[in-house]
A and B are shown apart, each in its own frame.
Chain A
Amino acid sequence: MVTLLRGTLRPLRLFQALPGPAADVPLRAASQGTGLLYPEHIPTSLLQKVLLTAGSAGMALYNPYRHDMVAVLGETTGCRALRVLRDQMKRDSEGAQILQERPRISLSTLDLDKLQSLPEGSLGREYLRFLDVNRVSPDTRAPTRFVDDEELAYVIQRYREVHDMLHTLLGMPTNILGEIVVKWFEAVQTGLPMCILGALFGPIRLSAQHLQVLVSELVPWAVQNGRRAPCVLNLYYERRWEQPLKALREELGITDPPMHIKA
């Protein structure tokens, strides 16, 4: 019975992280750097990915403060969508530059003083204001671990770092209502299963009043803008700090939100 089991499972490669010897040999390729595609990479088998998807989805719903679970869900389910995104980026000139130069948004790469000195209404200044008002920092993003392709790992990392930019662009705070609106926008833009799931299941924890506002006004606005705007991952934000936010919004076709949501 054991051999039968082995026979059927072997071609499926359910338990192997990387192609290698027998399915049941527990290799940890992480040691000595072999098999690691990027420094934080943890190779996972299909079964592990399935379990991670289920576990992270459940934990994210159970404890909405576990942002890392949402991130893991994105990594394990995003294979196809990330490839589409990457190809889209390659076709656009600015996007291709980003893929080549691999810029990162973190406190160490941002020049906070320069951003502070920029005129009011510019992207840089508004971004800084957003970070201050909502008391968030670009360094709280966990690094990608479960994506088995080095370029796609960068794409999802970029997506995470651009998430804060989207808050600024859309004028949404980081409370749960604001996050859901941004998720709807991202779902339409990127097609990542994690965004779609977050957009659909996030509202479960909302009050009836918020839900009403969300469904009647915010979601249609987010979806409309998401459809109209070009791919937001194609923008080289690091080169656009001086650009006035209004001009950027016009360029992307993003209209003002139907109502102001307090932080």
Chain B
Amino acid sequence: MAAPRSCALWGYYGRGWSRVMRGCRLPGLRSSWPGSPLGARLLSQEKRATETHFGFETVSEEEKGGKVYQVFESVAKKYDVMNDMMSLGIHRVWKDLLLWRMHPFPGTQLLDVAGGTGDIAFRFLNYIQAQHRRKQKRQLRTQQNLSWEEIAQKYQNEEDSLNGSHVVVCDINKEMLKIGRKKACAQGYKTGLAWVLGDAEELPFDDDKFDVYTIAFGIRNVTHIDRALQEAHRVLKPGGRFLCLEFSQVTNPLVSRLYDLYSFQVIPVMGEVIAKDWKSYQYLVESIRQFPAQEEFKEMIEDAGFQKVTYESLTSGIVAIHSGFKL
């Protein structure tokens, strides 16, 4: 039975939305019914099968990419300010937690997809450098009889501080990358960074290239999430880790009500007042509701070939960190 497509009805089915949507797009019905009475329904199934959601709207799959591009083009300049305002600064803690879960070692090759303004990339570089500094301190403490010239030498080796670690920031949106590059210059990140324009569904990298693949608050905007997961699997080295930080479903009912209230009543207003853009922030909160819940997303990651897939809910499930390994 075709699931209800009208947006008003979606509202009634609570968490089942995304499941119902995905169920509809499976080709099951199409192939097994040859009879003509169902011909008309077959045709409409065909047409509707290439449709997807854009927030609570229904759009064709070709349209969605373009519409998402426009949203991020228009929010790029105020992206960081709005993130701070909307999450009251908590998004910084979430991103820090992602890095702590990643626990990268010097020499890690990181690919940060949908990393536009560089938040994860900069945190990665900071983490590696902090690690290096701690190691240096420990070394110097054990070597008691160094001359001051040797000590100064040790502290001066800047290039060595990363020790081969490297992060590639990949994003489909030029504006977001531009903001990221500007931030990098302003904050003084010179080495260890690369900025690449690319599509998460079709990454411009060879197989088995990266140690860690991260995607923070980006995968829900991808039209075909399964393709993005498959690409992630492809570009990771064997033993590589997939990490995804994304909005998820809230488990606690009270928090859920407050969260819904805040999302739908306050966030678009904030978007209008601060960024002059109601509709992009309306899309943002709707796209969060459309994204699968923790368990379902875990299954999607396993379908792409990852193993030892786990997830950790943060802030009562407002966001979740999913992790998987390519073994």
Residue ranges of A at the interface with B (Cβ–Cβ < 8 Å): 1-2, 5-6, 15, 20-21, 24-32, 34, 42, 45, 47-48, 51-52, 55-56, 58-59, 66, 68-69, 72, 145
Contact B12 A72, beta carbon cutoff 8 Å: no
Given known pairs A48-B268, A72-B272, the reply for A24 and B253 (CB within 8 Å) is no
Q: Which of B267-307 contact A (CB under 8 A)?
A: 268-270, 272-274, 276, 278-279, 282, 285-286, 289
A-B contact pairs, 7 of them (CB 8 A): A24-B260, A26-B289, A27-B11, A52-B273, A55-B269, A56-B273, A145-B278
B257 at the interface (CB under 8 A from A): yes
Interface flag for B97 (CB, 8 Å): no
User: Chain B residues with Cβ under 8 A from A26's Cβ?
Assistant: 11, 260, 263-264, 285-286, 289
Write the chain B residue with the least CB distance to A34.
B8
Known: A32-B6, A56-B273. A51 touches B266 (CB 8 A): yes
**B contact residues around A56 at 8 Å (CB):** 272-273
| Sample of 6 more A-B contacts, CB < 8 Å, known A1-B254, A26-B289, A31-B7 | A27-B11, A28-B7, A28-B57, A31-B55, A31-B58, A32-B58
Judge whether A15 and B261 touch: CB under 8 Å.
yes
Report how many residues on chain B are interfacial, defined by Cβ distance under 8 Å: 31
B282 touches A51 (CB 8 A): no
Contact (Cβ within 8 A) B278 A15: no
Given contacts A31-B58, A145-B278, contact A25 B265 (CB under 8 A): no
A28 interface neighbour in B257, B265, B269, B286, Cβ under 8 Å: B286
Residues of A within 8 A of B311 (CB): none
* B55 CB, min distance to chain A CBs, angstroms: 7
Complex contact A42–B278 (CB within 8 A):
yes
Q: For A66, what are the chain B residues with a Cβ–Cβ distance below 8 Å?
A: 276
- Closest B residue to A20 using CB positions: B8
CB distance from B277 to the nearest CB of A (A): 11
**CA distance in complex: A72, B269 (Å):** 11
Q: Is the CB of B260 within 8 A of A21?
A: no
- For A72, what are the chain B residues with a Cβ–Cβ distance below 8 Å? 272-273
CB–CB B7/A55 < 8 A: no
Other-chain residue from B7, B58, B269, B285 in contact with A51 (beta carbon distance below 8 A): B269
In the complex, the answer to whether A69 meets B273 with C-beta atoms within 8 Å is yes
CA distance A201 to B250 in the complex (A): 43
* B56 interface contact, C-beta 8 A: yes
- Complex CA distance for A9 and B11, rounded to whole angstroms: 19
User: How long is the Cα–Cα vector from A24 to B6 in the complex, in angstroms?
Assistant: 18
Q: Which residues of B contact A55 (CB under 8 A)?
A: 269-270, 272-273
Given contacts A15-B261, A25-B12, contact A59 B58 (CB under 8 A): no
State in angstroms the CA–CA spacing of A30 and B7 once bound together: 10
Residue on B with the closest CB to A9?
A: B261
- Among B200-258, those with CB < 8 Å from A are 253-254, 257
Residues of chain B lying within 8 A (CB to CB) of residue A21: 11-12
Q: Are A32 and B261 in contact (CB under 8 A)?
A: no
Contact between A59 and B7, CB atoms less than 8 A apart? no
Q: Are B272 and A52 in contact (CB under 8 A)?
A: yes
Nearest opposing residue in chain A for B56, CB measure: A28
A-contact 0/1 string along B42-70, CB 8 Å cutoff:
00000000000001111000000000000
Nearest CB in chain A: distance from B179 CB, A: 21
Smallest CB-CB separation from B10: which chain A residue? A27
Smallest beta-carbon distance B124→chain A, Å:
35
Question: Are the CB atoms of B257 and A27 closer together than 8 Å?
Answer: no
Contacts of B58 in A (CB 8 A): 31-32
Tell me the smallest distance from the CB of B58 to a CB of chain A, in Å. Answer: 7
A157 to chain B, nearest CB (A): 18
B273 and A48 within 8 A (CB): no
Asked whether, in the complex, the Cβ of A24 is within 8 Å of the Cβ of B257, the reply is: yes
Within the complex, which residue of B12, B56, B253, B264 is in contact with A31, where a contact is CB–CB below 8 Å? Answer: B56
Closest to A23 in B: B261
Contact of B265 among A1, A27, A51, A69 (CB under 8 A): A51
Partner of B269, one of A31, A32, A48: A48
Please give, as numbers and ranges, the residues of chain B lying within 8 Å of A6 by CB-CB distance. Answer: 257
Inter-chain contacts of A34 with B (CB < 8 A): 8
Residues of A within 8 A of B7 (CB): 27-28, 31-32
| Alpha-carbon distance A66/B274, docked complex (angstroms) | 10
Find chain B residues with CB under 8 A from A1 CB.
254
Is A59's CB under 8 angstroms from B6's CB? Answer: no
Chain B residues near A31: list those with CB within 8 A: 7, 55-58
Name the residue of chain B whose CB is nearest to the CB of A66: B276
Bound-state Cα–Cα, A161 to B271, Å: 26
Residues of B within 8 A of A68 (CB): 276
Contacts of B264 on A, CB cut-off 8 Å? 15, 26
Whole-angstrom distance from the CB of B18 to the nearest CB of chain A? 15
Bound-state CA distance A20–B11 (Å) is: 11
| Nearest chain A CB to B62 CB, angstrom units | 18
